[in-house]
Chains A and B, each alone.
Chain A
Amino acid sequence: MGLSAARARRDRSGRAFASFVQGVAIWLSGTVAVALAAAFIAILALEGWQGLKAASSSPVGFDLTRSLIASGYILGIALPLVIIPSFLAAAAGYDVALGGPTTRWIATSLRVGPMTPTVAVGAAALWFGVRGGEMPTFSSQGIVIAAVALAALNLPVLTRRILAAVRDVPARWRMAAIAAGAAPHTAFLNVILPRAFPTVAGALLATAARMFGETAIVAMILNYAGTPLTPVTLDLWRRLTQQPETPGAGAPLATETLLLVTVIVAFRFGARLLQGRRRSGTAT
Chain B
Amino acid sequence: MPSVSERLFAACCKICAAIVAVTPIAIIALLVWAALTLTFESNGRGEYSGWIAVAASTVVVCLIAALFGSALGAGAAFAAEELASTPVRRTIEGAIGFFGAIPSVAFGWFAATILVPVAATNPLGFVTPYAVAAAVLSVMTAPTACALVMRGLRRVPDSVRFAAAAAGATRLQTTTHVIVPAMRRRIAIAGLAAFARSIGEATAMQVLFVALARDGVRAVPTTAATVFSRLALGPPAADPSYYIAALVLLCVAAACVLAVGREVGGPQWA
Contact = CB atoms under 8 A, between A and B. Distances in A.
Interface string A214-252: 111001100110000000010011001110010000100
B160 interface: no
A15 B227 contact: no
Interface string A66-100: 00000000000000000011111101110001111
B106 A260 contact: yes
A38 B99 CA distance: 11
B20 A109 contact: yes
Contact of A106 (B17, B75, B113): B17
A157 B17 contact: no
Contact of B27 (A34, A121, A159, A237): A121
B103 A214 contact: yes
Contacts of A125: 30
Interface string B176-188: 1100100000000
Which secondary structure characterizes the binding site on chain A?
Answer: helix
B72 A89 contact: no
Q: Is the interface of B mostly helix, strand, loop or mixed?
A: helix
A283 interface: no
B98 to A, nearest CB: 5
A29 B75 contact: yes
Interface stretch (A54-62, A128-136, A172-180): A128-136
B112 interface: yes
A140 interface: no
Interface in B1-57: 2-3, 5-6, 9-10, 12-24, 26-27, 30-31, 33-34, 37
A157 B269 contact: yes
B75 A109 contact: no
B133 to A, nearest CB: 15
Interface residue tally on B, bucketed by range: 35 or more
A29 B3 CA distance: 57
A70 B232 CA distance: 19
Contacts of B228: 119, 122, 216, 219-220
Nearest to A203: B270
A179 B34 CA distance: 52
B191 interface: no
Interface string B62-104: 0000000001111110111011100010011011111101111
Nearest to A47: B113
Contact of A99 (B14, B71, B247, B270): B14
A156 to B, nearest CB: 6
B140 to A, nearest CB: 11
Contacts of A213: 102-106
A25 B75 contact: yes
A36 interface: yes
Given A123-B231, A215-B103, A240-B108, A118 B202 contact: yes
Interface stretch (A3-11, A192-200, A261-269): A261-269
Contacts of A121: 27
A18 B173 CA distance: 10
A139 interface: no
B249 interface: yes
A241 B267 CA distance: 33
A23 B196 CA distance: 28
Given A119-B227, A156-B20, 15 more contacts: A30-B75, A92-B17, A112-B24, A113-B20, A117-B199, A117-B202, A118-B202, A132-B30, A159-B20, A216-B203, A220-B228, A236-B109, A240-B211, A260-B103, A264-B101
Which 8 pairs from chain A and chain B are nearest by CB?
A29-B75, A117-B200, A213-B103, A30-B79, A92-B17, A102-B17, A37-B95, A88-B16
7 contacts: A33-B72, A86-B16, A112-B258, A123-B31, A123-B231, A185-B9, A257-B106
Interface of A: 15, 18-19, 22-23, 25-30, 32-34, 36-38, 40-41, 43-44, 47, 84-89, 91-93, 97-100, 102-103, 105-106, 108-128, 130-132, 135, 152, 155-157, 159-161, 183-186, 206, 209-210, 212-216, 219-220, 223-224, 233, 236-237, 240-242, 245, 250, 253-254, 257, 260-261, 264-265, 268, 272
Interface of B: 2-3, 5-6, 9-10, 12-24, 26-27, 30-31, 33-34, 37, 71-76, 78-80, 82-84, 88, 91-92, 94-99, 101-106, 108-110, 112-114, 139, 142, 172-173, 175-177, 180, 196-197, 199-203, 206-207, 210-211, 214, 224, 227-229, 231-233, 235-236, 242-243, 246-247, 249-250, 253-254, 257-258, 261, 266-267, 269-270
